[in-house]
Structure 1
Amino acid sequence: MRRLSGPDALPDLEGAELGTTGWREVGPAAVAAFAEVTGDRQWIHLDVVRAADGPFGVPVVHGLHLVAMVPSMVDEVLAVEGVDHVLNKGVERVRFAAPVPVGARVRGRVEVVSARVRPRGYWEAVHRVHVERDGIAEPVCAVSVTYLYRERDPRVR
């Protein structure tokens, strides 16, 4: 876990890898819950029998489920003190390179691509996350997330 005393330290990390998260299993219950919340109940994610004859031979995790896990991956490797809130400004450059079978383990490798000061006490940072699947050498997903870190007003406690 990398701890920063404030968002003004983010530019010093440009180009740096922050670390790798622990492994997380994406089991059938999580996939079913994601399907329920999003309404994406496609058989390729939920039906073991039908998926056996599908393109991957097994049910696979929703790609957007992997993307939805990215903020918690960033939070696992980076803590920025001295902020009163963090906003997710955007998700870009999402690429899926390989399927993730339901029940597989994934983790994130996080780096800071860029950081700059913005108006009204905000700092903007772009984090690139490569989602890795246990047993596969290359990342299965890559995504950039842009966060706005709002500096805490030192006059407010």
Structure 2
Amino acid sequence: MKVFNDAAEIAAAAGTRLGSSEWLTITQDRIDLFADATGDRQWIHIDAERAAEGPFGTIIAHGYLTLSLLPFLGAQVYAFAGHVARVNYGLNAVRFITPVRVRSKVRVTIDLLRVEDIEKGQRATLRHTVEIRGEDRPACVAETVVLLMEGGRA
């Protein structure tokens, strides 16, 4: 895991690959909990019998479930030491490329694309590529933007 100790280390890492997380198995229980939390109970996510006859041949995870794993998986790749407040600023782009089938294993690889100084700290843009073990194409590619502010300044 890459630990950034200060703003200079963060800026120096711009344009580099930060690393990859461990593999995580996407279980039916995780999919069901996400369906319950979001109200998205479409049959391709929760009905094994019907999904077996559907376009993917089995249940698939919600695209937004895959996206929601970025903080969890990302915490295995990098961290900020000290009193840096990290605030999600937004997403520049998200693409769901390959469906994540139930019982698949996924991991994220993160590239720090750029770091810009702003009045209250730094704005970092990262590319998260969610890979599926055994698949040639990723599940998701998302470009996130994060504000990094020392001492929790708002």
> TM-score band, normalised by the shorter chain?
over 0.9
Matched positions, count? 152
1:40-119 equivalences in 2 (<5 Å): 40-119=40-119
Q: How far apart in 2 are the matches of 1:147 and 1:7?
A: 13
- Select between 107-116 and 5-14 the one with higher mean Cα deviation: 5-14
Counterpart code for 1:30: R
Aligned residue in 1 for 2:141 = 142
Whole-angstrom distance in 1 between the partners of 2:79 and 2:51: 40
Report the more deviating stretch, 73-82 or 16-25. 73-82
Letter of the 1:126 partner, please give it. T
The Cα of 1:105 is off from its aligned counterpart by 0.7
- Maintained 8 Å contact 1:7/1:83: no
Q: Per-residue deviation at 1:134?
A: 0.8
Query: What aligned pairs does 1:125-136 form with structure 2 within 5 A after superposition?
Result: 125-136=124-135
* CA–CA separation in structure 2 for the residues paired with 1:136 and 1:28: 20
Q: Is the 8 A contact 1:6 1:83 kept in 2?
A: no
TM-score between the two structures when normalised by the length of structure 1: 0.92
Equivalence for 1:22 = 22
CA distance in 1, matches of 2:144, 2:124: 8
CA–CA distance in 2 between the matches of 1:148 and 1:6? 14
Q: Is the CA contact 1:7–1:82 (under 8 Å) kept in the aligned structure 2?
A: no
Provide structure 1 residue ranges, at least 5 long, that are not aligned to the other structure: none
- Measured in 1, the distance between the counterparts of 2:22 and 2:3 equals 17
**Bigger proportion of residues as helix:** 1
Deviations 1:19-54 (A, max 9, x none): 010000110010000000001000000100011111
Aligned equivalent of 1:35: 35
Q: What is the Cα deviation at residue 92 of structure 1?
A: 2.7
Determine the C-alpha separation between the residues in 1 that align with 2:111 and 2:20: 9
